[in-house]
Structure 1
Amino acid sequence: MSLKILDTFPDFTQESTQGPLNFYDWAGDSWVVLFSHPKDFTPVCTTELGAVAKLKPEFDKRNVKAIGLSVDAVAQHLAWAGDIERTQGAALNFPLIADVDRRVATLLDLIHPNASDTNTVRSVFVVDPAKRVRLTLTYPASTGRNFDELLRTIDSLQLTDAHKVATPADWHQGDDVIILPSLGADEAKALFPAGWTEHTPYLRTVPQPEAAD
């Protein structure tokens, strides 16, 4: 069964480019971005792995760890890493799971028989420190993933976990946010004493809490 938002992300132990890896132990109290690849030495995925390597400082600022998954062996992963560093200008700085037996891909329901009975689909999971799935995305083979959007989503998730707000369409750090409709006027006044803009009774916006503090 496919994992859905707020499902518990399953634990697993599998070989990787950083040795045997137990997912829960490796993740610790960090957020995780796990992204899967159909196989090594594929052009779109080569650019994606390079993009993620370059974003490590941004992930670190957000307490996020990145991890890749592909069905080939560690030796092939390491050879691919050489291509990635040479063509993308960034060395692989996160683990790449060697899912040769497709055990993890099967656990995460990443084998799509309509596309292939052996290769994983190109999916992304964002997992929070409680090991809950907070975002899932699946991309077509021809379209590179947008990791800036993943960072934006993680910013929103971390902000809305900390405050009783939601983020509107196309929100970015520093933009106004929405007061949760479930908050009554008295509770809203206590949390947002400077007031808010009321567009409708259910759409009330305020400056992003960190920016206002």
Structure 2
Amino acid sequence: MEELNNFKETTYSMPRIGDVAPDFEALTTKGKIRFSEYAKEKWVVMFSHPADFTPVCTTEMSGFATRKAEFDALNTELIGLSIDSIHSHLAWVQNVRENTGVYFDFPIIADIDMKVSKLYGMLQPNESETAAVRAVFFIDPNKKIRLIMYYPLNVGRNMNEILRVLEALQVSDKHKVALPLDWNKGDKAIVPPPKTLDELNERLQDTTLEKVDWYLAKKEIYN
């Protein structure tokens, strides 16, 4: 019973795909924000890192910064987070800019009270009680969580994959299609399978599709 009580004390909420992103107010390197009012009509990629002034985190934040124009082109705002003070964040941003020329020109949440980390399940006790894991939340303009990635403290993320799945989500929404294994921009997309016999017969007669079989067919998509 004591072990169960201890487990309950250290279990934090874990938002799921399809949930509305939990709202919060927070101090960031760009000023105070209320998330529900932030980046209206835009996608948001919110990501956590374990700590400022650490090597893997520096490479990751630099990756987001140097490719920010690609996120801008996808109508997407970036928001970082760690369990550090605003003063630590500002000093780290300036340190990296002085040493590498890379500027973290996006808000970084100062989550010193761990409020947002707990709200989003970024604190995972078996990994660390005081440092957020490397979580990435893809949130659409309706503030719905569409995709979640979690990485441990000692493994950096893949920026190509983050951009790939962001674009895949947007393409899927726009064209009402699904995306196959290893899909990249320019590849064919999977069309929804037939749901009636009439649709099945239409599918069999459709010469514009690349058909593996009636239930698996692909088509070209154009933006």
Q: Which runs of 5+ in 2 are unaligned?
A: 1-12
Q: 1:165 aligns with which of 170, 177, 180?
A: 177
| Equivalent AA in structure 2 for residue 115 of structure 1 | E
Q: Report if the CA contact (8 A) 2:18-2:145 is conserved.
A: yes
1:79 aligns with 2:94: no
TM (norm. structure 2) is 0.87
Deviation of the 1:159 alpha carbon = 0.9
Q: Report if the CA contact (8 A) 1:50-1:88 is conserved.
A: no
Distance change (3 Å), C-alpha of 1:42 and 1:169:
same
Q: 2:126 aligns with which of 97, 100, 114?
A: 114
Distance change (3 Å), C-alpha of 1:87 and 1:48:
farther
| Whole-angstrom distance in 2 between the partners of 1:83 and 1:202 | 55
Q: 2:105 aligns with which of 90, 93, 105?
A: 93
Secondary structure of 2:18 counterpart: coil
| Equivalent AA in structure 1 for residue 214 of structure 2 | P
Aligned to 1:64: 76
Moved more, 108-117 or 165-174: 108-117
Q: Report if the CA contact (8 A) 1:33-1:126 is conserved.
A: yes
Q: 1:27 aligns with which of 13, 25, 39?
A: 39
Distance change (3 Å), C-alpha of 1:187 and 1:73:
farther
| Whole-angstrom distance in 2 between the partners of 1:154 and 1:188 | 34
Q: Report if the CA contact (8 A) 2:78-2:106 is conserved.
A: yes
Aligned to 1:201: 214
Deviation of the 1:189 alpha carbon = 6.3
Aligned to 2:60: 48
Q: How does 1:105-184 map to 2 (within 5 A)?
A: 105-182=117-194
Secondary structure of 1:165 counterpart: coil
Secondary structure of 1:20 counterpart: strand
TM (norm. structure 1) is 0.91
Q: Report if the CA contact (8 A) 1:122-1:139 is conserved.
A: yes
Deviation of the 1:89 alpha carbon = 3.1
Off by >6 Å, runs of 4+ in structure 1? 187-190
Larger radius of gyration: 2
Q: Report if the CA contact (8 A) 2:200-2:214 is conserved.
A: no
| Equivalent AA in structure 1 for residue 210 of structure 2 | T
Deviation of the 1:188 alpha carbon = 10
Aligned to 1:38: 50
Aligned residues: 208
Aligned to 2:5: none
| Whole-angstrom distance in 1 between the partners of 2:70 and 2:200 | 34
| Whole-angstrom distance in 2 between the partners of 1:55 and 1:189 | 43
Secondary structure of 1:24 counterpart: helix
| Whole-angstrom distance in 1 between the partners of 2:146 and 2:200 | 27
Deviation of the 1:108 alpha carbon = 0.9
Alignment RMSD: 2.0
1:96-128 C-alpha deviation (Å, 9 max, x unpaired)? 000011111111121111122221111110000
